[in-house]
Amino acid sequence: MLGTAVSDGLIGSNPAAIRGAMNTVTKRQPTILTPDEVAKVALAIQPVNLKVLVLISAWCGLRWGEVTALTRADVSADCEVITVARGVTHANGQCFVDTTKSAKVRTVIVPPHVVGDLRDHLAHHVDDHHDALLFPPTRGCHLRQQVFREYFNAALKSVGITKAVRIHDLRHFAGAQAARVGDLVETMQRLGHTTIKASLIYQQVVSGRDREIADQLSALAKPAQVGQNTG
């Protein structure tokens, strides 16, 4: 707002400009799982309707607020494309549904090895109406991160992963894998980044090849045999 006011000549300078504000220091390095570890966690997590939440977070790179805001209408009929249009935040015991962090709608091509699991999830775990949540909570408006973390940590432990893994580390996994097959611009688009600095962490580059990237992501996962459903 203040930047726009400066551009419009309403004020001489932006009083909120802080030198070095964008150069934040990372306090904790993310724990990047391997494709095989992601596969094991997805298969181990209980209840089973959270399997696809793990897969979408890891292979499509959605933020927590984005993946928990997904509805049936956000998934294409063939389950190959997810539209990311909203994000959920929780504050003072309430849910707030707004735009994504970048305030932009983006589409993400689902890697083929995840498509079958997504179809199965829609068929068995999601209500038929178009605005039905993909991952409904047992109570409240949307699934809370604290609730999922208990199931996630239990799954990590059950497959013998003892290193500390945050839920957000699944998104870091997505960035790291996309960096292996895509470029900077492609990664920015896939993860919904608005600044180059955010995507440079994963070292990616170019756009228009999202489907090709999704295909190559599945090729990376083949040794791990992620997603047992193919139809």
Active site positions, annotated: 63, 168, 171, 193, 202
Q: In 3-state terms, what secondary structure has residue 47? A: coil
Which regions of 27-105 does DSSP assign to beta strands (E)? 81-84, 87-91, 94-98
Please identify which residue in the block is written with the tokens 């726009």: 4
Short-list 14, 39, 51, 22, CA closest to 177: 39
Short-list 231, 228, 202, 207, CA closest to 107: 207
Q: In 3-state terms, what secondary structure has residue 109? A: strand
Q: How far apart are CA 42 and CA 152, in angstroms?
A: 9
Q: How far apart are CA 157 and CA 199, in angstroms?
A: 30
With b for 16 or more beta-carbon neighbours within 10 A and e for fewer, the 72-94 pattern comes to eebbeeebbbbebbbbbebeeee
Write down how long the chain is: 231
Q: How far apart are CA 21 and CA 161, in angstroms?
A: 36
Instruction: Give me 197's structure tokens.
Output: 């600095």
